[in-house]
Amino acid sequence: MNQPIRVGIAGLGRSGWGIHAQGCAAMPEQFQVVAAMDFEAERRADAEKSFGAKTYDSFDGLVADPDVELIIVATPNFLHREHVVRAVEAGKHALCEKPFGVTSADAEAMIAAAGKAGKIAAPFQNRRYESHFQKVREIVQSGVLGDLHLVRMTVHGFTRRWDWQTLREYSGGQLLNWGAHILDHALGVMNLPDDAPEPEVWADLRNVLSSGDAEDHIKMVIRPENGPVVDIEISSAVAMGQDRWFIAGKSGGLRGTTGKLDWKWVDWSQMPQRPVERTPTPGRSYNSEKLEWQTDHWEDDGTGDSKLTRLFYEGFYRAIREGAPLEVSAQSVRRQISLIERAKDMTGFS
């Protein structure tokens, strides 16, 4: 029987503690937290009390610990590249909280370092397992909506923040926070081939409510050479929010939230052909026909974020212990990071 993977966690903040430490604790046969690093003594004490873990006040101590097989990097965004590279170079596997680097160069450096060391460096994209995203992708790939021409995605809220994630100097802002999830979903629906040209990008980033200088209101439009235009809004400054999903295709459309989806479509093969008629319509009327709509509906089972973390970690465990392919690979987020970088560069929010 395989032994649990011995985990060291770098950073015991909201994600490091609430997602990763607790996620590992819920899977004791697969993961064991044996060490942790944080700059705050109180947080280190929590890890000692809860897990009996060795604790360190610097990354140097954690990365040198011979008992650690896997380092979960949950430090601030601007440290992700350094900590992942150092982890794999020290012979550890690495799991990187999103974002998987701040720039494309960061992502490429982590991928290259892991390849050279023969270790895994993976992005933590647990929301790729969200039920609504999986269902949307299933519907799109079924072809029932026809070729898509528009995908609109929104994450709206109205709230102020004043922590480090509102500062550009720490690579804060919503684009590297929620944007990493939403762009991952958008690219999953677009399903662009790996060798497809980079899509055109237009972006407007603004700082509206947050106390720092990073963006809290994002508008992005992504236009690939082939495929739907994707319109994305991620904002902490929209008081009257809209649904997460709105999709338009040649045969129908879909709309809904993270909890409920509705879609309808027409089977054009069952409809008469409509060649162009150059003669005037009878009685100066407009073209009209009765469409035979088909409809469907989906609702989430309500299992929540803990399910997402477990699903991600189960696949990650199989990759390390059983040599299975990574379900969420570093290569799969390259285009996501490129889009984020390009949006920041064109708006001066780098």
pTM assigned to the model: 0.94
CATH no., domain 128-306+335-347: 3.30.360.10
pLDDT digits (tens, 9 = 90+) for 160-173: 999 999 999 999 99
Beta bridge mates, 155: 234
Task: Quote the CA–CA distance of 31 and 41 in Å, as a whole number.
Answer: 24
Cβ-proximal residues to 215 (8 Å cutoff; 6+ apart), any chain:
173, 174, 175, 205, 206, 207, 347, 349
**Phi and psi of 76, rounded to 5°?**
-55, 150
Long-range contacts of 289-296 (CB under 8 A, 24+ apart): 291/266, 292/266, 292/267, 293/252, 293/264, 293/265, 293/266, 294/264, 294/265, 294/266, 294/267, 295/262, 295/263, 295/264, 296/262, 296/263, 296/264
265-291 residues labelled b (16+ CB within 10 A) or e (exposed): bbeeeeeeeeeeeeeeeeeeeeeeeee
Where do the structural domains in the chain lie, given as residue ranges?
5-124, 128-306+335-347
Please list the pLDDT of the chain residue by residue as tens digits (350 residues).
689 999 999 999 999 999 999 999 999 999 999 999 999 999 999 999 999 999 999 999 999 999 999 999 999 999 999 999 999 999 999 999 999 999 999 999 999 999 999 999 999 999 999 999 999 999 999 999 999 999 999 999 999 999 999 999 999 999 999 999 999 999 999 999 989 999 999 999 999 999 999 999 999 999 999 999 999 999 999 999 999 999 999 999 999 999 999 999 999 999 999 999 999 999 999 999 999 999 999 999 876 677 899 999 999 999 999 999 999 999 999 999 999 999 999 999 98
Task: Quote the CA–CA distance of 62 and 65 in Å, as a whole number.
Answer: 5
Q: How many CB atoms lie within 10 A of CB 137?
A: 15
CATH fourth-level superfamily of 5-124: NAD(P)-binding Rossmann-like Domain (3.40.50.720)
Which residue bears the tokens 């044996």? Answer: 34
- N-to-C CA span, the chain: 48
pLDDT digits (tens, 9 = 90+) for 173-224: 999 999 999 999 999 999 999 899 999 999 999 999 999 999 999 999 999 9
Task: Quote the CA–CA distance of 276 and 91 in Å, as a whole number.
Answer: 67
